[in-house]
Every structure is written in structure tokens, then in C-alpha cells.
Structure 1
């Protein structure tokens, strides 16, 4: 195994407390592939967005932040998996925000309806797989 293929835990500064308290690693990188753990609609201070659109924005901003810490960008995302507590009722609002972050090159995407997330107020969770450098050109 070469040095570039070693497993790297990506823990940006804003996630250090979560890592320490809950043993949560925001992303793992092996070679050019990056697996990003689920990002929710709560900011680094624990403030939860008021509605699904606000929570979706927070989740995608967190995704962007974690990818940048891992040496990638949203352009490098090849797969999204999203979890929704009201899949049918909030999909239109969610998609409108998602399309702000992925306006033309859409990654593979699976949306899953769930009964609950980590906190009762959370409406959406976003996880992703990226390949660093794949979105260039």
C-alpha cells in the first residue's frame, strides 16, 4: 500500500468536539476517494435550521467544508445519499436547495425516507462520496 492509499481520518476544526465526544469522523479518505459522514441541519454551535430549506443549506455547507478539508470540492461529489423525515412532503423544497449546490452536474443520488434522525428537530441528513480532482475540466 502506498502512502496515498493509506486511510486518513478527516476532522476539520469545527468538528473536533463531535469527534472527541461521539467518536465521529466527518470524512475518511483513501487515495482520491472520500467518504463523507452524514451532515445534518445543525451548525457547529448546535443551532438547528428552522425548516427543511434552512437545514438543507446547513447540511450542504457542512458537506462543502468537510470536502475542502479533505482536499476536494462539491464538483468532485459522485454520489449523494439523503435521508428525509418527510420524503414526499419536503422533496421539492429540498431539491430546490440541492440544485443551488449542484446546478448542472448532478451526482448519483438516492433519497431515503426515515422515521427519525439523531435529534427530533432534524429533517434531513446528507452523506456523500467524492473522488478528489474528478470534477475538474
Structure 2
């Protein structure tokens, strides 16, 4: 019988991940795929805080709202792309990350860029999700 859930693994032939992510995330056939636009650190009033950690916190709040709008939970997220224009405070981001994911980490890519869509945006996080 076909496995009907998203599975994650780190192959024993590879080094362990250097962060809280999984090397491989497998989506079963016929799962619904959701691709969200990159979420940014804008607050509820449409403002961007100057502080990177405040933008990180707002970004995770916005991710949760997008997910809830489609009935998705953290275990549905299969891939995360993180783009930032300044150095990320990993202790802070990891605490937000762990509040969302616990130990069920998705695949992840991180990139630093000189700028994002608007000059005030310091971080943008894109999620891909699958519902089985």
C-alpha cells in the first residue's frame, strides 16, 4: 500500500544537516501542493519595523496566517526558502522556527541578497506545502 504521508529523512551517506532542516522531503502521489508567495516582515498595519528580529517575528506570524487560511499545519510544509538582506540572528530565528516546526523540519534553502522587493524588506520567507 502506498505511503500517504509526507516523509522526511537525512540519508546516512551524507553529513548531518548544519541546521534545523531535512535533506529530503518526499510528497506522496495525489497530494495537494500549495505554493505561497514569500512572506515578509510587514506588521498588521502595513508597516515594516527597522529591526531585523521584529521583521523575522512578523514574517512567521504572516506565514502562520497564510497556512491557517488553507487549513495547513507545520507538518504540511515541505520546503522553505529564506532570503535576507542582512545577517540573520540565528538564535532568534531558530526560536521562531522551533515554535512553528518542533522537530518536523522541512527542506530549506537560505540566501543573502543585496535587496528584496522593497528597500525596507530585510527578510522574505517562501513556503511550499502539501496536504495528503
Shorter chain as denominator, the TM-score bin is 0.5 to 0.7
TM-score by length of 1: 0.65
Greater fraction helix = 1
Answer yes or no: is the 8 Å Cα contact 1:73–1:132 preserved in 2: no
What SS does the corresponding residue of 1:37 show, helix, strand or coil?
coil
Unaligned segments of structure 2, at least 5 residues: 1-29
What SS does the corresponding residue of 1:80 show, helix, strand or coil?
strand
Q: Which residue pairs with 2:40 in the alignment? A: 40
- Measured after TM superposition, the shift of residue 86 of structure 1 is 1.8
Report whether the alignment pairs 1:85 with 2:80. Answer: no
Name which of structure 1's ranges 31-40 and 98-107 shifts more when overlaid on structure 2: 98-107
Q: Which residue pairs with 2:110 in the alignment? A: 111
Cα distance in 1 between the residues matched to 2:48 and 2:38: 15
Larger relative contact order (C-alpha < 8 A, sep ≥ 6)? 2
- Measured after TM superposition, the shift of residue 60 of structure 1 is 1.2
- Measured after TM superposition, the shift of residue 31 of structure 1 is 5.8
Alignment of 1:1-137 (within 5 A): 32-87=32-87, 90-133=89-132
Structure 1 residues 39 and 48: CA distance shift in structure 2, 3 A = same
TM-score by length of 2: 0.68
Unaligned segments of structure 1, at least 5 residues: 1-29
What SS does the corresponding residue of 2:99 show, helix, strand or coil?
helix
**Residue-by-residue CA offset, 1:9-29 (whole Å, 9 max, x unaligned):** xxxxxxxxxxxxxxxxxxxxx
- Measured after TM superposition, the shift of residue 110 of structure 1 is 0.6
Structure 1 residues 70 and 103: CA distance shift in structure 2, 3 A = same
What SS does the corresponding residue of 1:93 show, helix, strand or coil?
helix
What SS does the corresponding residue of 1:54 show, helix, strand or coil?
helix
